Amino acid sequence: MKKRTRSGKTKAADGQLALQLGEERLKAERLATIGLLASRLSGELRQPLSVIRNAIYFLNIHLSTDVDDKVRKHLGIMLREINGATRLVGNLSYLGSTRPPERGMSDIEVIVAAALDHIVRPPEVRIRLAIKPDAMLFCDPSQVRLALANIISNSAQALQSEGEIKVICTQTATETRIEVTDNGPGMTRDVLAQVFEPLFTTAEHRTGLGMTIVRHLVGANGGTVEVKSEPGKGTTVLLRFARFEHETGFPTKTNSAHQAKEG
């Protein structure tokens, strides 16, 4: 084995670091360009998607009640696919945007129901909900909905056919937890380590933006994301949001939304 000098080692390490920093900068620049393109594209696509969605709703309402079940079924398929595309466009729009959340007291059950509306899932995938009917969260509901739609969509895609997705929400005086668990194939250590990386995907025809956006949106709303996964057992994504005095009616240590500690 070759013996390296001290300085040789340092130089090599410096070179490595410079290379790494260069790569990081390139990655950041690439992401910024992708972000800009993405938000422009999503701006253009949002309108036609929403027009198509409204047209489907209109057809559904105005079709006579004795219309063939197959017609309704296909309208349902169209609506699901349009909703999936809308989620993708929503993801793209957040890539290039720094729009601050519009936070208000929001009903968690309504947010979860809207998220479920936006995902494409096989009928064999069961959904189990455990959410207190009056549970509220101080957040931008459309942002948290998009985050949950991404998470639940990943679970549905991982399950493919049979399986169960649980959405559980629990609240203490200081914290709201929203947990999405599936009993799908889970992730290897290697995949788990990269799950938040922009453009990281293990699937063909997917963007690898979902979890990047989830972390961005949840963070913008004052929350954190934890992912636990075991191959063969399944995956749990846990969102944690601190609760504040105006949410609970109980005094907390601080009134500042940004300083409150998660309990």
Ligand X SMILES: Nc1ncnc2c1ncn2[C@@H]1O[C@H](COP(=O)(O)OP(=O)(O)O)[C@@H](O)[C@H]1O
Nearer to ligand X (CB atom), residue 174 or residue 207: 207
91 counts as binding Mg ion under rule CB under 5 A: no
> Using CA atoms, how far apart are residues 219 and 242, in angstroms rounded to an integer?
11
Tell which positions 136-165 bind ligand X, by CB under 6 A: 150, 154-155, 158
How far CA 61 is from CA of 54, 57, 64, 210, in Å, comes to 11, 6, 8, 33
The packing angle between helices 210-220 and 141-159, to 10°, is 150
Nearer to ligand X (CB atom), residue 139 or residue 159: 159
Q: How many residues bind Mg ion (CB under 5 A)?
A: 2
Binder of Mg ion out of 91, 154, 229, 252 (CB under 5 A): 154
Nearer to ligand X (CB atom), residue 150 or residue 252: 150
Binder of Mg ion out of 90, 96, 184, 210 (CB under 5 A): 210
223 counts as binding Mg ion under rule CB under 5 A: no
Say which entry of Mg ion, ligand X, none residue 203 contacts (CB below 5 to 8 A, set by partner kind).
ligand X
210 counts as binding ligand X under rule CB under 6 A: yes
> Using CA atoms, how far apart are residues 215 and 17, in angstroms rounded to an integer?
27
203 counts as binding ligand X under rule CB under 6 A: yes
Among all chains, which residue has been given the structure tokens 């809308």? 86
184 counts as binding ligand X under rule CB under 6 A: yes
Nearer to Mg ion (CB atom), residue 154 or residue 252: 154
187 counts as binding ligand X under rule CB under 6 A: yes
Binding site for ligand X (CB under 6 A): 150, 154-155, 158, 182, 184-187, 191, 195, 200-203, 206-212, 235
